[in-house]
Structure 1
């Protein structure tokens, strides 16, 4: 893939600013680089760029650049883009030889010298009045990313019921499968601080429409702060997005990202400490709140209970009730600690894993004492009790021990790991206001 940049040439009577000094009064590097990804948009491109450039010059307080990212258009889009870059100060063109909105944003954002990177759809579906509320929290140092949300209660949205249903269903899937907390993954109106982009973009694999979702999920899992802005949004009736193909690709992306997050291969834990914010206190990453931990602990505990019951029934004959109870508890305790370490408490990597397992065995011993004591009482009071009754007693005892196990895992075993995260402070970005 090749990338070429078209800059404004000098005119006969005056020098036209280069992209680095495109806005009137701008410094060498603009505060905002607003990217418009396009593919075969020769009909609406000129209106979009002129409208956006006029808005930035008239109403936006920070030096800003408009970058047209052409995704291998086969019509007159690139020629129009280059003409606009020649005519309008503060407009430039990046041409890519391959399609993909994610590929365009990845390429342009990583090469940009701006402090804040944003993008918007060429159809101008989102009211430009939301641009300053989108960018301001990033310039001030309040947030790392900002997204426009069409699903906010104060947003005003005009679109058909089919797209509304698809959008809300997709976001429910993200909440259920990936524990996403942002409200609108696919609104074409987003911004990110350049330092956050440098940390996150190398981890984002998707080059198409799922790029937005993957970026936001990784940002949340890294503990970054995402600001949401209600937007006024009008659906483009001429949109050529293939809804079925896009939805299928998004679902495949969700499955892939879930596998990668579960594997623990993504180095997300280090990112948060590199990106300080104003008045920031280290917050737990999504999925580490008490509610999420309880839900995941219950799932792990349920699977552990099933495994315990199978092992107890299997070993009851050769080992006897107490031996089967001890062996089944030991095996499931080791697996339970490892699963809760990764899935419930979000701890990745080998660091302190042996210590966690050792402390987990202490918790196991307490649970074993509870279940062994229950079995002893049963055998003392009803020595001829059938095996099914024995199983029921130890299962109930283990369910009771589960509460104790959660309290000890959260408050003792994994507490020091959670408390060791730094609490950085930050400062706002510096940028001239005109």
Structure 2
């Protein structure tokens, strides 16, 4: 049985995808996740959910699947860009693991932290383990002052209005029990970046057990950030909606 399903939503990540997949293998294999050749009962799988990337990301993903095998690399392409929240829902339908890890494919989330998530979850059987940039030993690298201020401001406002019980509400590097994630996605109504925020808010309201692991967030090496004015406006609207409905 596959124990951990790693969801990688992608859009124009052809340069980053091979490296992030290699790093996942490197760090999980180093911690005893090796499996025998031809054994279908692997310990983890990587689900790549590509939203019709025009840069050839899907073609790269197909080559990775040939290299690592269909049991390890699962391709779940969609015809167009439909949003981050729906990408996770799509991936969850096909995930075989008892636990689901969500992370970005642009190398801003380093796979070396995955084992820390797994170890933290095992400590007290937490429902969710989330990475935080804002606790001791966490941080952000590669951002200019403007983006740091925007991120801190957005997180502060969310903390003030929603009191979610976690220090980094806008982060998207997490480990969930599969049944917990299924329950949350059924109750969430947000799309895009707000989806991540709503997940933790609803988890807190439902009394789910959440733990945090410090992570260092590094700005993408290749490609352009997908965070722009439209996403900021969407975030503000979503925050107000959550304040009024949760």
* TM-score band w.r.t. shorter chain: 0.7 to 0.9
Measure, in 2, the Cα distance between the counterparts of 1:234 and 1:61.
26
Query: TM-score with structure 1 length normalisation?
Result: 0.51
Do residues 53 (structure 1) and 15 (structure 2) align? no
Do residues 225 (structure 1) and 197 (structure 2) align? no
Aligned residue pair count: 233
- 2:237 corresponds in structure 1 to 252
The correspondence of residues 334-353 of structure 1 with structure 2, limited to 5 A, is none
Do residues 198 (structure 1) and 182 (structure 2) align? yes
3-state secondary structure, aligned to 1:34: strand
Moved over 4 A (4+): none
**CA 1:257/1:110 → structure 2, altered by over 3 Å: closer, same or farther?**
farther
The correspondence of residues 361-376 of structure 1 with structure 2, limited to 5 A, is none
Normalized per residue, the structure richer in helix is 1
- Name stretches of at least 5 consecutive residues in structure 2 with no aligned partner: 35-42
3-state secondary structure, aligned to 1:65: strand
**CA 1:140/1:30 → structure 2, altered by over 3 Å: closer, same or farther?**
farther
**Distance apart, 1:187 and its partner CA:** 2.4
Measure, in 2, the Cα distance between the counterparts of 1:113 and 1:139.
19
**CA 1:155/1:60 → structure 2, altered by over 3 Å: closer, same or farther?**
farther
**CA 1:240/1:232 → structure 2, altered by over 3 Å: closer, same or farther?**
closer
Normalized per residue, the structure richer in strand is 2
Measure, in 2, the Cα distance between the counterparts of 1:98 and 1:203.
24
**Distance apart, 1:259 and its partner CA:** 2.5
Structure number with larger C-alpha Rg: 1
Match of 2:85 among 84, 102, 115: 102
- 1:71 corresponds in structure 2 to 51
The correspondence of residues 5-24 of structure 1 with structure 2, limited to 5 A, is none
8 Å Cα contact 2:24-2:112 kept in structure 1: no
- 1:92 corresponds in structure 2 to 74
- Name stretches of at least 5 consecutive residues in structure 1 with no aligned partner: 1-28, 262-434
Query: TM-score with structure 2 length normalisation?
Result: 0.87
Measure, in 2, the Cα distance between the counterparts of 1:73 and 1:52.
22
**Distance apart, 1:64 and its partner CA:** 1.2
| Mean CA deviation greater in 57-66 or 150-159 | 57-66
8 Å Cα contact 1:154-1:230 kept in structure 2: yes
Q: CA RMSD in A?
A: 1.9
Asked which structure has the greater RCO (Cα within 8 Å, sep 6+), the reply is: 2
Measure, in 1, the Cα distance between the counterparts of 2:245 and 2:172.
25
Do residues 120 (structure 1) and 103 (structure 2) align? yes
The correspondence of residues 351-430 of structure 1 with structure 2, limited to 5 A, is none
- 1:130 corresponds in structure 2 to 113
Measure, in 2, the Cα distance between the counterparts of 1:51 and 1:224.
30
